[in-house]
Amino acid sequence: MKTRAAIAWEPNRPLEIEEVDLEGPKAGEVLVRIVTTSLCHTDLFTLSGRDPEGLFPCILGHEAVGIVEDVGRGVTSVAPGDHVIPLYIPEDPNCDYIKSGKTNLCQTIRKTQGAGVMPDGTSRFSYKGRKLFHYMGTSTFSEYTVLPEISVAKINKEAPLAKASIMGCAIPTGIGAVRNTAKVEPGSSVAVFGLGAVGMAAIQGAVLAGASRIIGIDTNPTKFPLARSLGATDCVNPRDHAQPIQDVLIEMTNGGLDYTFEAIGNVNVMRAALEACHKGWGECTIIGVAGDGEEIATRPFQLVTGRVWRGTAFGGVRGRSQLPDMVEEWLRGDFDVDPYITHHMEHEQINTAFDLLHKGESIRSVIHFDPRQTLKMEQLPGTLVTR
C-alpha cells in the first residue's frame, strides 16, 4: 500500500513528506492507522545524529495513538477497529525479562528493533525501491505503520484520539518514574530537573504520590507557570545562582532531596541531580537520554554515603498490561493530559514541531493525520499551527 510519511533522510535535515510504500502486516504483525502523533525530545535526539542506533533514512516517531486496520496471521489480542497506542518497549509475556517481574525492558525484539527492522529482519517501508528504516519499532510519523502484535496496547475507545498520543511516552514515563522506579512515598521531597513534558509528568507523578515538596528546575523560566499549576511548590532557574544548583537545593531543603529526577539528557545535570540527594538515603532517577560516549561521573563517596543512582525506561510501565490502566486513570480525572498539549498541526507542518521544541517554545506538539476528524480546535487545548 501507499502511505504519507515524514522521511528523515539524514541527521540534522528537515523531514520530507512523501508517499512511501508500506508492506505487511506479516504473521504476528499489526497494521495501524496513526490518528495523532506527538513530538518527544528523543525524536529530536535521534535526528541530531547523537543516537548510536540512529539509522537513516528512517521514519521517526514513537509517541502516538491509532486504530488497527488489519492484522497478520496468528494475531489474536487486537482486531481491526481497536484503538491502540504503539509501544517502543513491547511486552511479550514469554520474555524472560518480563517473566522476571523485575523490569519492563522486554527484549524479545530489541535487537531487530535497534537495527531498524521488523522481527524477521526486513523493513516494511520503502521509497522508490529504497529501504527506509523503522524507528523504535514504531515509526509513527507515517499515517500507516506496521508493528509487532506485542508492540501495541489496546486502550479504551473513549480516550480522545486528538490528545491520547501523549500517553504513548511522556506521561507514563514521568508518572511511572516516580511511581514505579523511585517509588516515592507520601511526604517526600522531590526535585525534577527539566520541565518538558516528561519532567511535567514527573511533577504530576510526585503530586499523585503525595510528595510534600516538589521543586521544578529549568533554565527556561517560561516553563515555571505550568510546573506550578501541575503542583510544583518551588521553581528554580540554575542561571539565577552563582553556586552549583545542587548546593542551592541542599540549602533550600536543609540537607538535600529524598528523590530527584533528571528529565533533560545532560550528563552534567545528572551529576547535579545525584549530588542534590540527601546524604544517607536520597535517590536519583535518570530519565534523560544522552548520546554515545557521553558519560556520567561523580565521586564514589556520593554513593558510599548512601545516595542511589538509577535509571528508568518508559517509567517502568509494562505497555500492554499497565498502560491501558493509566489511560483509565486519565479518563476518570486522576491526572490531566491537556496541559501538555501546547500546539496542534497537520502532518505537513511536522518540521515546525521540531523547531518549537528546539527553541523551548512547546511542551508537546500534536500532529494530526486527518484534521477533518480530529483538528476541531473548539475542543482542543493549545495553539493551531497553520501553514
Ligand X SMILES: N[C@@H](CCC(=O)N[C@@H](CSC=O)C(=O)NCC(=O)O)C(=O)O
For residue 25, is the peptide bond before it cis, meaning its omega torsion is within 30 degrees of 0? yes
Phi, psi for residue 365 in degrees, rounded to 5: -100, 130
Residue 45 lies near ligand NAI (rule: CB under 6 A): yes
Residue 85 lies near ligand X (rule: CB under 6 A): no
For residue 57, is the peptide bond before it cis, meaning its omega torsion is within 30 degrees of 0? yes
Min dist. Cβ of residue 93 to ligand X (A): 18
6 vs 200, which CB is nearer to ligand NAI? 200
Distance between CA 7 and CA 380 in Å, rounded?
A: 28
Q: Cα separations (Å) of 167 from 99, 155, 281, 288, 294?
A: 24, 10, 31, 18, 29
Distance between CA 83 and CA 161 in Å, rounded?
A: 9
- Residue of minimal Cβ distance to ligand X: 42
Binding-site member from 39, 47, 58, 169 for ligand X (CB under 6 A): 169
202 vs 211, which CB is nearer to ligand NAI? 202
51 vs 275, which CB is nearer to ligand X? 51
Decide: 179 and 155 in contact? Cβ < 8 Å: no
Stretch that binds ligand NAI, among 16-24, 114-122, 133-141, 259-267 (CB under 6 A): 259-267
331 CB neighbour count, 10 Å cutoff: 15
Residue 173 lies near ligand NAI (rule: CB under 6 A): yes
68 vs 85, which CB is nearer to ligand NAI? 85
113 vs 204, which CB is nearer to ligand X? 113
Angle (nearest 5°) at CA 146 between 143 and 149: 135
Binding residues vs ligand NAI (CB under 6 A): 40-42, 45, 169, 173, 193-199, 217-220, 223, 238, 263-266, 269, 287-289, 312-314, 357, 360
Interaction site with ligand X (CB under 6 A) = 40, 42, 51-53, 89, 105, 110, 169, 289, 313-314
